[in-house]
Amino acid sequence: MEYQLSPSILAADFSNLGEEITKVERAGARWLHIDIMDGQFVPSISMGIPVISSIRKRTDLFFDVHIMALDPTALIEDFAKAGADLITVHVEACPNLDRTLRLIREKGCKVGVAINPATSVHVLENVLEIVDMVLIMTVNPGFGGQAYIPYCANKVRQIREMAKERNLTLDIEVDGGINKNTIQEVVDAGANIIVAGSAVFQGDVDANVKELKGIMER
Ligand SMILES: O=C(CO)[C@H](O)[C@H](O)COP(=O)(O)O
Ligand SMILES: [Fe+2]
């Protein structure tokens, strides 16, 4: 299984975004987590198309776009054109989930599906075969810098088990409150794509990326 650290630029210095991205790239990250918040599905507003298309010109990192919006389906085509490699939508925001997931694939992107902490893994039973990645939120979405919710590790374990039963090679991503103290628990539970915002961009970015990757790959 491939392990990837996906630094979340939500915690980066936006006045110096290009440099921040170069730093994580130089430190050895291959993915970049881009949080899209619309102020409705979640309370805050983050960034949109112009940010993605401008950073796309600067880096070949794999763009892992996490949409936290009330109507993610309407945004998919534009995000794909702007340079997303993988688009993840929330079950909680998709009344026609199957259609939305197929649209992501049609637009040429890898397909991700996310669930909030309080949502059961069982809502994913029917769509596991048509996604590349499941994102288990380990905080309630909306802000960086929140504390990791420990019961979510069990959901990672459940999804890994469900994938195994179906013979699927599925990526499992965790997002929220992951740092050097919490990363081991989610990796042990079966997560292989690890998002980290504050734990990467606060302090020495190079040392942070190397430390987290080191624990993950051990
Ligand atoms: O989706 C998110 C919040 O909704 C972010 O990706 C997440 O919060 C990352 O930040 P941190 O690692 O600081 O918790
Ligand atoms: Fe995220």
Which domains occur in the chain, in start order? 4-217 (3.20.20.70)
Catalytic residue status for 78: no
CA of 138 to the centre of ligand 2 (A): 10
Residue 70, number of CB atoms within 10 A of its CB: 13
CA dist 52 and 63 (Å) reads 9
CA dist 30 and 40 (Å) reads 30
Residue 214 labelled as part of a binding site:
no
CA of 52 to the centre of ligand 2 (A): 15
Q: pLDDT value at position 190?
A: 98
CA dist 138 and 117 (Å) reads 6
Q: pLDDT value at position 218?
A: 87
Decide: 114 and 82 in contact? Cβ < 8 Å.
no
Name the one residue in this structure whose structure tokens are 């994938």: 163
Decide: 9 and 200 in contact? Cβ < 8 Å.
no
pTM greater than 0.90 = yes
Decide: 27 and 206 in contact? Cβ < 8 Å.
yes
Q: What are the pocket residues of ligand 1 if the criterion is a CB atom closer than 6 Å to any ligand atom?
A: 8, 10-11, 33, 35, 66, 68, 139, 141-146, 175-178, 195-199
Let me know if 165 is exposed, middle or buried by CB neighbors in 10 A (0-12, 13-18, 19+).
Answer: exposed
Name the one residue in this structure whose structure tokens are 């110096």: 16
Cα end-to-end distance, the chain, whole Å: 13
| Mean pLDDT per 10-residue interval, the chain, length 218 residues | 97 98 98 98 97 98 98 98 98 98 98 98 98 98 98 98 97 98 98 98 98 95
